Chains A and B, each alone.
Chain A
Amino acid sequence: MIVVEQLVKTFGEHRAVDGLDLRVEAGEVYALLGGNGAGKTTTIHLLLGLIPADSGTIRIDGVDVKPGVRPRAAFVPEVVDLYPDLTPLETLELFASVASVDVDAKAMSGALLDAGLESRDHTRRLRVFSKGMRQKVALAIARIQGARALLLDEPTSGLDPRAAAQLLERLSALKAAGAAILMSTHDVYTVSAVADRIGILRAGRLVDACDKSELGERDVAAWYRETMGG
């Protein structure tokens, strides 16, 4: 579970996150919609403990995030750029080791297969992988890291429709497995397909939020345009 209360982060005069409150339950996907500079990436970095918050509280899977204390949360950046001279299996082994997770080769192969990466690609170097394939490796990493919270930054950006659809399938599977998933995105199609809750972020403030079910027949894109004023 992810709980954020009154989160504030400023860079100089610029208030990147301004009193943000949000809550992501286990087995739920929360989509943060917003334009460029809305504070989505900063929010994710704050949640990961990669930059310190000015004020507010962050609690992920029972851990209060603060300087020196980071949550056990997996992260998938917008552009997954792993180590080109390692294979997916070696990459998973490295990431599991850094996260102090004990995982065997069979589990790693299983995670890669579940992420949609075929067996013959498990021992090829990442140097030759497409963006979509690297994205799959990133999802496998998130799985073997054993984190119960998953944070994704623009996960479908730059993916072709087929790769994007495969990614959404994997996210649904992770959700079903009980992960609390928070993702930032511009992509209302992704939101419609996988999100349970949606928040709209503007200038660091959550200007509107709702369950997708509350929208009923309304289109996510239309709601977003209305909220953002056109």
Chain B
Amino acid sequence: MILRLTRRAQWRSSRARAVAAALFSASLASVVLGALLGAQHRAAGERDVASFAARLEAGAPEKNAFYLTAYEDVIVARGASADAVLAAGDLAALPDAAILRLSDPPTTIPSLAERSPSALLLGSLDFAWVLALLLPLGAIALAYDSVSRDRERGTLAMLLGPARSSGPLLFARTLAVAEVLLVGAFPGLLASFFVDVSAAVVIVAYTFLIAAIVVAISARAERSAVALATALGAWLTFGVAVPLSASAVVRASYPEPDPRARLAGEKGADAVFTRATEGIVATEVGRDPEMDPEQAEDGEFSQLRYDFLLMRERLRRKRGARYESDRVQTQRAETIELAAWLSPTSLVAGVLADVSGTRPLERRAFEKDASAYRGDVERFVRDDILARRSVLEDPERFPRLDRVPAKRRVTAWIAAALFLAGGIGAWFEATRRLNQGGFAPTKEDA
């Protein structure tokens, strides 16, 4: 009964409808733009496939019957057919010897979101960040005065005077606020549901948590202005400052290893990381006759880049290098993951990324598997493709590495449980304070 009437009063207010509409627009935009970005990648890939098929039909040399396509900072290795996606990797990570990934279609590229601010808004998975940051703001706009306003105007005293407990009222208000937020976040919620049900549960629990916190802040504050300042301060602290500070501390403690260090002392190493020149190619071909720059075309078909990738790997393996940076990178990823638990905002975004398998630690784990896979690809290129075997007609023979999902749903469920417990704790504390006459004195009192 209390919930029904609280919801009714809320939905009739223009503020609730405005907050829901604003959140809905932002959430829908992020999901739609993410989908468009994915479609753009797919379309680009399909164009390349068609172009490549045309080249094959026109009698292009069979030895180069695989190719790489670069989309901004993403690189995709393809076979001859549309289905034959060999690998998708991160161009920016190429100095780290390419984290090769196999995906079909190769549109889910987590590193794109992690590295590009604009992609945070556009990436198909990045509604997590949009929701994580905007939901608290929506909750504040909607409910910062949900209790304090009643207190200021004496309505709370009318309501609670004869009531046994303020608990049902506060719980109803929390649920009503959460409902508006969830309606606003519906596109993202729906998208997360298709990623994994645990992702949707995390969003619901997170929404409940922030609704409960904002209502509790409002119940505790002497004035609505104080409630607003406190809620915004909490958002800035735990939603922005803590994640940024934690990230900065981690990055300062574990600086990104310079990939150039891997090739320190190698002749022409700097040039390898900057741009491919004919001179460098000639030098490398001199070292490794298997490379054939005659067939390389930089541009739409980035064979040359792949050649350099292989070249670097060969150099690395010849030296049997085991890099200190591997250990540092792992420590860095682990610490970043731990730091995320300092903030509900970064936690929810991190957990959603976790569910979708894009966490730094997961990437490190995947990199180990990918290392073996790189060897397979290299052998495949050397022994099959470069040896002019007609394997491309049989995609089954391509080395495959199924994307290691590593969807750590357990983390998601733990986070959801923590969020729910936190929300219930906030509600309980606010109830306890109000039940014990925890009203701050009004101006009139003093």
Contacts and interface: CB of A to CB of B under 8 A. Distances in A.
Contacts of B5: 86, 90, 93-94, 97
Contacts of B168: 97-98
Contacts of B442: 41, 45
B12, B156, B445, B446, most chain A CB atoms within 10 A:
B445
Nearest to B151: A50
A151 B154 CA distance: 12
Interface string B156-174: 1111111110001100000
A74 B159 CA distance: 8
Contacts of B414: none
Contacts of A74: 158, 161-162
B275 interface: no
A54 to B, nearest CB: 12
Given A70-B437, A97-B2, A82 B163 contact: no
Interface in A59-84: 67-68, 70-83
A76 B12 CA distance: 25
B6, B154, B442, most chain A CB atoms within 10 A:
B154
B69 to A, nearest CB: 56
Contacts of B169: 98
B174 to A, nearest CB: 15
A49 interface: yes
A: interface residue count bin: 35 or more
Contact of B155 (A12, A48, A52, A77): A77
A71 B162 CA distance: 6
A141 interface: yes
A16 B446 contact: yes
Contacts of B435: 68, 70
B: interface residue count bin: 20 to 34
A167 interface: no
Interface string A193-230: 00000000000000000000000000000000000000
A165 interface: no
B439 interface: yes
A186 B163 CA distance: 29
Contacts of B162: 70-74, 99, 101, 145-147
B394 to A, nearest CB: 68
Contacts of B153: 77, 79, 81
Given A70-B437, A73-B162, A145-B162, A48 B157 contact: yes
Contacts of B2: 94, 97-98
Contact of B437 (A49, A94, A100, A138): A49
A101 B1 CA distance: 11
A78 B9 CA distance: 23
A56 B162 CA distance: 21
B441 interface: yes
A51 interface: yes
A48 B161 contact: yes
Interface in B1-57: 1-2, 5-6, 8-9, 12-13
Given A45-B445, A145-B162, A75 B157 contact: yes
B437 A141 contact: no
Contacts of A70: 160-164, 435, 437
A73 B161 contact: yes
Contact of B441 (A42, A98, A153): A42
Given A41-B442, A41-B444, A85 B9 contact: yes
A14 interface: yes
B118 interface: no
A42 B444 contact: yes
A42 B13 CA distance: 32
B445 A51 contact: yes
22 contacts: A45-B441, A51-B437, A51-B441, A67-B436, A67-B437, A71-B162, A75-B157, A76-B158, A79-B153, A80-B158, A83-B155, A85-B8, A85-B9, A90-B9, A94-B6, A94-B9, A97-B5, A98-B2, A98-B159, A100-B164, A138-B158, A147-B161
Closest CB pairs A-B (n = 4): A77-B154, A85-B12, A81-B153, A97-B1
Given A78-B154, A80-B154, A85-B13, 12 more contacts: A11-B441, A73-B162, A74-B162, A80-B155, A80-B158, A85-B8, A94-B5, A94-B6, A97-B5, A98-B163, A98-B168, A146-B162
